[in-house]
Amino acid sequence: MFFASDNAGPVHPQIMDRVLRANDGFALPYGNDPIMDEVRAAVRQTFEAPDAAVYLVPTGTAANALALATYCQPWNTIFCAKTSHIQVDECNAPEFFAGGAKLILVGEAEKMSPDTLRAAIEMQDPTDVSMAQRGPVSITQVTERGTVHSLDELQALNAVAKDYGLPVHLDGARFSNAAVALGCSAAEMTWKAGVDVVSFGGTKNGCMGVEAVVFFDPSKAWEFELRRKRGAHLFSKHRYLSAQMAAYLEDDLWRDIAQLANDNAAYLAQGLTERGITFLHKVEANMLYPLIPRAVHRRLDTAGARYERHAGLEGDADALISARLVCDWSISREDIDRFLSHF
Amino acid sequence: MFFASDNAGPVHPQIMDRVLRANDGFALPYGNDPIMDEVRAAVRQTFEAPDAAVYLVPTGTAANALALATYCQPWNTIFCAKTSHIQVDECNAPEFFAGGAKLILVGEAEKMSPDTLRAAIEMQDPTDVSMAQRGPVSITQVTERGTVHSLDELQALNAVAKDYGLPVHLDGARFSNAAVALGCSAAEMTWKAGVDVVSFGGTKNGCMGVEAVVFFDPSKAWEFELRRKRGAHLFSKHRYLSAQMAAYLEDDLWRDIAQLANDNAAYLAQGLTERGITFLHKVEANMLYPLIPRAVHRRLDTAGARYERHAGLEGDADALISARLVCDWSISREDIDRFLSHF
Amino acid sequence: MFFASDNAGPVHPQIMDRVLRANDGFALPYGNDPIMDEVRAAVRQTFEAPDAAVYLVPTGTAANALALATYCQPWNTIFCAKTSHIQVDECNAPEFFAGGAKLILVGEAEKMSPDTLRAAIEMQDPTDVSMAQRGPVSITQVTERGTVHSLDELQALNAVAKDYGLPVHLDGARFSNAAVALGCSAAEMTWKAGVDVVSFGGTKNGCMGVEAVVFFDPSKAWEFELRRKRGAHLFSKHRYLSAQMAAYLEDDLWRDIAQLANDNAAYLAQGLTERGITFLHKVEANMLYPLIPRAVHRRLDTAGARYERHAGLEGDADALISARLVCDWSISREDIDRFLSHF
Amino acid sequence: MFFASDNAGPVHPQIMDRVLRANDGFALPYGNDPIMDEVRAAVRQTFEAPDAAVYLVPTGTAANALALATYCQPWNTIFCAKTSHIQVDECNAPEFFAGGAKLILVGEAEKMSPDTLRAAIEMQDPTDVSMAQRGPVSITQVTERGTVHSLDELQALNAVAKDYGLPVHLDGARFSNAAVALGCSAAEMTWKAGVDVVSFGGTKNGCMGVEAVVFFDPSKAWEFELRRKRGAHLFSKHRYLSAQMAAYLEDDLWRDIAQLANDNAAYLAQGLTERGITFLHKVEANMLYPLIPRAVHRRLDTAGARYERHAGLEGDADALISARLVCDWSISREDIDRFLSHF
């Protein structure tokens, strides 16, 4: 009953198998392995972006921080939602990689709106040398509260960014879960909606540790390569990153895995709803924010369930305590049923 | 005939096997996996250092840059040999992670001497606010020219550092090759010789991508953890790093693999010597710097041999052109013999 | 009729005179001039802090950024009010000097409250390596809206900081105006209220360009000196900074000048009030935020008055447009009367 | 008898007078003062560069670090002579402002040669992502040993830089002393010789604390302005910087002051030579490196002479100890004669 995160499950067997098969003889290091050629082609096909520059890094924080830094001067701002991973969960990595840039928090929840974004941009007067200058907009899809921006929402945010000539980064740690939820293509959720660079996550969706950074405009490619090396994120035995991503993209495995995770979440959400549980945020991908009576939390804790709980076990048994449950692709229906049985 | 680097061969089967076995069910992320407990114990035992703080990162540059930064203020100098990886091959990663510290190159070759180190330290007057302040000493073992510091040499360098109260970092990307060459223990080559923190390399010696950073004084442990996260080098699915290192340490596999590589190098060196080839640097571990007539280079090139050659194929056929050959553990005697057959 | 800022008026004659008198013969550079000895003694006496470490820098941004960096690791947060100069007006200088630290905006206005500060600190879980770690609290006195924290307010904020072991910085660009407004001593507004380091402003209060950074705990003194040099803020001909500060402190000239400015503001505020003007923020020092009909703005503009106006001159003549007026010590009553005559 | 540095003498009376005259009424802050318009025009005329972008900062380290950073990515190298101020005397400020760039020391003395520069540039392979990438060349004129690059030498170095498309920075802390020594114009020593940006020093040559940064290509102007503000080097009461520079440029006062300093040095050098003293470096501007018997050092010390001495007073009385003597414009012939009387 592990619902603590989607970063704790096993590697999908097809991905692990491809890693194993890659382990033969010598391969040129630093991204010059032949599997990376395959990955480059597959990413470009997946994103319908024949000119895209494609790079692999091992962590989501590296993908975000390096992608943003490439579009951000140290005296710039990065516009993002209040709950963004880059703001809350990366220990100042974006500031570090961007040389001391400033994150500007937009809105009061997990999504920016076009109006709050526009207002935040307007606050930074670009003619005033005393003010940090307007920099990239970073959107998180799936959001940090498990909701998904519709394509219209993405386009509307990106239209605001474009009004001011600002580049757009998509933090797609759960890109696949969102694409599956929306039933849209990778292209529709990125460059067709105005995104300039995406952190295309693999780690949370069945990979071992790999994220692709995809630039739809390749003019920043060499700068990114230098930043990646300087950030110590260029793998010598790169083929083991390549192999993961190659398997992930083959026959749209990334969508299949995400579908499993989202289906698990939907099944769990339905079970909880049937048991009278309500949610702080709509369940749209693979994360749930249910309000659970403390007494149930106690039973779940005793039974060994793992998840984020936003208050302690001591106190009023009837009090509703919010929790975060994340469904991995690999969690079994038996586990979910077992979890539900404690309600 | 791949002698270009030891970062291009396959993962050792025992290590890959352990990665596979780790791929079962859920494991706590971010270094809280149970295999990491095993690794921590094994590193402490290997280094005879029961209090050591032990961390895993995916690349050698990350190990070096993070370890040094932890012992280095931005206004400090880092003393290192002229050929150091941190100076030549890391695209300013040490400077980046250390917030703009300055590398001071000591001596004229791949080793510092106690005298050149002392002179370099003396140049930085610690009472002069205009000068960068004295910071850590970084020693590379095996050196970047394939030679190995003796334990006496290490102790002598470290004694100089200690005279000035400076911490010592060992860049041990090829730590195992050196330990095997010296026939000494991990402890003898580190804290017993005065080293404070070591980058204990796995990647170049049969792992997929993992290095341990070992602090013999654990007081910097939490700072390192924060630096690792901020540098985007904290793996969520950390068990796959742990598994590599666990297998690497089990029954001293790290020594066995290094012995294979060093033996291959010795075999190759003997073959070359028998063919009248001389070397720019003594062959003491798994790297060779032979002087090879251009005509032979041409034959090797045609035959598909891969290695670093320090001049082009055009020109005087008899001219001696230096090369760098690195022996991986996995290269076969057949390959070496085939290589030699072109001389 | 110059009300645009207090950074645009002339140097007070007593200060300029002291600069002139300093211009004789040779003086040791880099803060070793004898006038700096005098300054050090005078600051310690003024602040009743015999052990304080005292440094001079030329700009308020340098004072703030260097003082904060000295108390801030790159992975830390800096807690400050939403309108803080360090957030809005320093082009990411605090982030730059602190190596990429993150500013956390507390509350919705120009002051933090103990509750909003406590809540913001609580958000940063110090056991979570993914989160930026709690760092210094920075309070602006006079605030950026011209209001003044009472001593009780300062103490209450600092008590919260101390509950969490966090250092407190006071941005005192208008320290003198606040001290005079509160009728309190320099010590009461700083270390007696829990402040650890203060940017004691001179530039906005009659100096040419000098701010003192005063550390009540001198243990960070040498680090600050290195940071100041590395930030290129150590003056070689330091005596000209010293001379300004010496004159500024002599016979409490700093209080006299601030009193002039505050009196000018009170006189202007009274005149405006008598003319029916209301204010967005209470006038407590030398800044005013009146709501002025657009028609009056037009007349003032034509008459050459200089001040910040928060909307354009086109539009409804009766609309109330907010403005910021700052009174310098040197502005004349004639100028103020002339300004008022347009209402 | 103050020969310790040219940063310890008084401000030239014409410059101080201009500062005084600037102290009247209000002036727009942050470089928008009318005197700055005058300065901009005067710098452009002096340098025969009608399009130059011109900025003022208070210290030489600020001028160098900001100018270099503007032409330097964090993953770049800066090529400079071994004795450069930016390497030895700025406490890692260049690395700080350039985000962790690396200084590459060229040659073995105070000048680079075209050959050593070319060799150093060639070492940095621009196609190798592991290597720091080639960045700006920084030349110090007057060198840190008191010698002066001839125009031919400057042109030859700059031609090498241009061969590789690298920008050239001139550290002109003693620009005026060099221009006077060479009898050349400001243009000849900069853009006509291939220099892209110059730190045009005022502080060491009779100003209070001001340096101009002059970009001959204005395309980096706005970036520099942002860097200056972010570095906390933008003065609010900027007119007092402007006034110094305005007086300095008026009627070529900068040349007159430098001529005084150089003449003093020549007079001192002749006196020393007549007394049998030899020099480590040729005396070409206002610095001398004489070899002085220890017994004479003792007498000078007793007499209160101030200068850098490169060994202690204890030891063999006849031993020749090198010293550095710097002549300020203001030192009197009486002082020099008094100094010489101890030989």
Instruction: Read off the pLDDT of residues A282-332 as tens digits, 9 standing for 90 and up.
Output: 999 999 999 999 999 999 999 999 999 999 999 999 999 999 999 999 999
Contact D75 A226 (CB under 8 A): yes
User: Which residues of chain A approach chain C closer than 8 Å at the C-beta?
Assistant: 74-76, 87-92, 95-96, 98-103, 105, 129-133
Per-residue model confidence as pLDDT tens digits over A256-281? 999 999 999 999 999 999 999 999 99
Per-residue model confidence as pLDDT tens digits over D202-259? 999 999 999 999 999 999 999 999 999 999 999 999 999 999 999 999 999 999 999 9
Closest CA to A215 of A12, A35, A42, A49: A49
What does the pLDDT average to over C323-333? 97
Pairing between strand B320-326 and B308-309? antiparallel
Contact B129 C226 (CB under 8 A): yes
Q: Band the pLDDT of D133: cuts 50, 70, 90.
A: very high
DSSP string across D289-327: -EEEEHHHHHHHHHTT-B-EESS-SSS-TT-EEEEEEE-
Chain B residue with minimum CA distance to A203: B237
DSSP C173: T
Q: How far apart are CA D269 and CA D277, in angstroms?
A: 9
Burial class, C151, CB count within 10 angstroms (exposed 0-12 / middle 13-18 / buried 19+)? middle
Q: What does the block give as tokens for C72?
A: 């801030």
Q: Band the pLDDT of B337: cuts 50, 70, 90.
A: very high
Chain B nearest-CA distance from D6, in A, is: 16
What distance lies between CA D203 and its chain's CA centroid?
A: 9
Indicate the fold that domain A258-340 takes in CATH: Aspartate Aminotransferase, domain 1 (3.90.1150)
By Cβ distance, the residue of B75, B226, B234 closest to C230 is B75
Which positions in chain B touch D98 (Cβ < 8 Å)? 100
Q: What does the block give as tokens for A95?
A: 């500031």
Question: Which pLDDT value is given to residue A41?
Answer: 98
By Cβ distance, the residue of D19, D61, D237 closest to C232 is D61
Q: How far apart are CA B116 and CA B124, in angstroms?
A: 13
Question: Which pLDDT value is given to residue D94?
Answer: 98
Per-residue model confidence as pLDDT tens digits over A87-96? 999 999 999 9
pLDDT, mean over chain B: 97
What distance lies between CA D29 and its chain's CA centroid?
A: 27
Question: Which pLDDT value is given to residue A66?
Answer: 98
Q: Band the pLDDT of B288: cuts 50, 70, 90.
A: very high
What does the pLDDT average to over D272-297? 98
Q: What does the block give as tokens for A100?
A: 């001391």
Interface test with C, best of D64, D237, D241, D242 (most C CBs within 10 A): D237
By Cβ distance, the residue of A88, A89, A132 closest to C91 is A132
Q: Band the pLDDT of A204: cuts 50, 70, 90.
A: very high
Q: How far is CA B114 from CA A178, B121, B141, B170, B200, in A?
A: 59, 10, 16, 16, 23
Contacting partners of chain A (3+ CB pairs under 8 A): B, C, D
Burial class, D256, CB count within 10 angstroms (exposed 0-12 / middle 13-18 / buried 19+)? middle
Torsion of CA B269, B272, B273, B277, to 10 degrees: -120
Per-residue model confidence as pLDDT tens digits over D165-204? 999 999 999 999 999 999 999 999 999 999 999 999 999 9
What does the pLDDT average to over A204-214? 98
DSSP D250: G
Which positions in chain B touch D133 (Cβ < 8 Å)? 91
Per-residue model confidence as pLDDT tens digits over A115-161? 999 999 999 999 999 999 999 999 999 999 999 999 999 999 999 99
Kindly provide the b/e burial profile for residues C47-84, where b requires at least 16 CB atoms within 10 angstroms of the residue's own CB: bebeebbbbbbbbbbbbbbbbbbbbbbbbbbbbbbbbb
C103: β partners: C78
Which positions in chain A touch B27 (Cβ < 8 Å)? 8
Per-residue model confidence as pLDDT tens digits over A167-195? 999 999 999 999 999 999 999 999 999 99
Q: How far apart are CA B257 and CA D61, in angstroms?
A: 51
Pairing between strand D278-279 and D290-293? antiparallel
**Radius of gyration, CA atoms only, chain C:** 20
Q: How far apart are CA B301 and CA B312, in angstroms?
A: 11
Q: How far apart are CA C324 and CA C303, in angstroms?
A: 17
Torsion of CA D317, D319, D325, D331, to 10 degrees: 30
Which positions in chain D touch B310 (Cβ < 8 Å)? none
Interface test with C, best of A83, A87, A95 (most C CBs within 10 A): A95
Which positions in chain C touch D16 (Cβ < 8 Å)? 20, 23
Chain A nearest-CA distance from D100, in A, is: 10
State the Cα angle at D90 between C219 and B136, rounded to 5°: 65
Q: How far apart are CA D76 and CA D70, in angstroms?
A: 12
Chain B residue with minimum CA distance to D97: B100
The model's pTM: 0.97
Contact D305, D339 (CB under 8 A): yes
The runs of H, that is alpha helices, within chain D are 13-22, 34-46, 60-70, 85-88, 93-97, 114-123, 151-163, 175-182, 221-230, 239-249, 253-274, 294-302, 333-340
Which positions in chain C touch A91 (Cβ < 8 Å)? 75, 129-133
Q: Band the pLDDT of C19: cuts 50, 70, 90.
A: very high
Hey, is A282 helix, strand or coil?
A: coil
Contact A133, A124 (CB under 8 A): yes
Long-range contacts of residues A218-221, Cβ cutoff 8 Å, at least 24 apart? A218/A51, A218/A52, A218/A53, A220/A53, A220/A70, A220/A71, A221/A53
Which positions in chain D touch A75 (Cβ < 8 Å)? 226-227, 229-230
Contact D311, D290 (CB under 8 A): no
What ipTM, to 2 d.p.?
0.97
The residues, any chain, with a CB within 8 Å of residue C28's CB and separated by 6 or more, are C34, D4, D8
**Given 3.90.980.10, 3.40.640.10, 3.40.50.2300, 3.40.50.720, which CATH number is that of D12-253?**
3.40.640.10
Q: How far apart are CA A289 and CA A305, in angstroms?
A: 15
Contact C95 A102 (CB under 8 A): yes
Which positions in chain B touch D105 (Cβ < 8 Å)? 105
Q: Band the pLDDT of C71: cuts 50, 70, 90.
A: very high
Q: How far is CA C219 from CA B166, C161, C199, in A?
A: 20, 19, 17
Question: Which pLDDT value is given to residue C125?
Answer: 96
Q: How far apart are CA C282 and CA A131, in angstroms?
A: 26
Chain D nearest-CA distance from B68, in A, is: 14
What distance lies between CA B162 and its chain's CA centroid?
A: 22
Contact D321, D309 (CB under 8 A): yes
What does the pLDDT average to over B305-319? 96
Contact C7 D61 (CB under 8 A): no
Interface test with C, best of A7, A83, A91, A104 (most C CBs within 10 A): A91
What distance lies between CA D188 and its chain's CA centroid?
A: 17
By Cβ distance, the residue of A133, A229, A234 closest to D226 is A133
What is the number of alpha carbons within 13 Å of residue D286 lying toward its C-beta? 31
Q: Over D159-184, what HEC string results?
A: HHHHHCCCCEEEEECCHHHHHHHHCC
Q: How far is CA C25 from CA C310, D210, D256, D287, in A?
A: 50, 19, 19, 19
Domain boundary assignment for chain D? 12-253, 258-340
User: How many other CB atoms are there within 10 angstroms of residue D122's CB atom?
Assistant: 10
Contacting partners of chain C (3+ CB pairs under 8 A): A, B, D
Closest CA to B202 of B231, B176, B183, B168: B176
Residue at D225: amino acid letter: E
Contact C283, C266 (CB under 8 A): yes
Beta strands in C226-319 (DSSP E): 278-279, 287-288, 290-293, 308-309
What does the pLDDT average to over B94-121? 97
The residue count for chain C: 343
Q: How far is CA D308 from CA D146, D296, D326, in A?
A: 14, 14, 9
Interface test with C, best of B102, B229, B233 (most C CBs within 10 A): B229
Question: Which pLDDT value is given to residue D151?
Answer: 98
Q: How far apart are CA D332 and CA D336, in angstroms?
A: 6
Closest CA to C272 of C302, C313, C304, C307: C307
Contact B234 C133 (CB under 8 A): no
Total CB pairs under 8 A between chain A and B: 140
Interface test with B, best of D95, D106, D129 (most B CBs within 10 A): D95
Chain D residue with minimum CA distance to A232: D130
Total CB pairs under 8 A between chain B and D: 61
Pairing between strand C290-293 and C278-279? antiparallel
Q: What does the block give as tokens for C243?
A: 């001379």
What is the number of alpha carbons within 13 Å of residue D302 lying toward its C-beta? 8
Topology agreement, domain B12-253 and domain B258-340? no
Which positions in chain B touch C230 (Cβ < 8 Å)? 74-75
What does the pLDDT average to over C180-207? 98
DSSP string across B9-48: SPPPHHHHHHHHHH-SS---STT-SHHHHHHHHHHHHHTT
Task: Name the packing angle between helices A34-46 and A239-249 (round to 10°).
Answer: 30
Residue at D109: amino acid letter: A
The residues, any chain, with a CB within 8 Å of residue A110's CB and separated by 6 or more, are A81, A82, A83, A140, A143, A144, A145, A147, A281
Q: How far apart are CA A249 and CA A38, in angstroms?
A: 10
Which positions in chain D touch B92 (Cβ < 8 Å)? 74-76, 100-102, 132
Q: Residue B278 belongs to what H/E stretch?
A: strand B278-279
Per-residue model confidence as pLDDT tens digits over B275-286? 999 999 999 999
Which positions in chain B touch D99 (Cβ < 8 Å)? 96, 100
Question: Which pLDDT value is given to residue A302?
Answer: 97
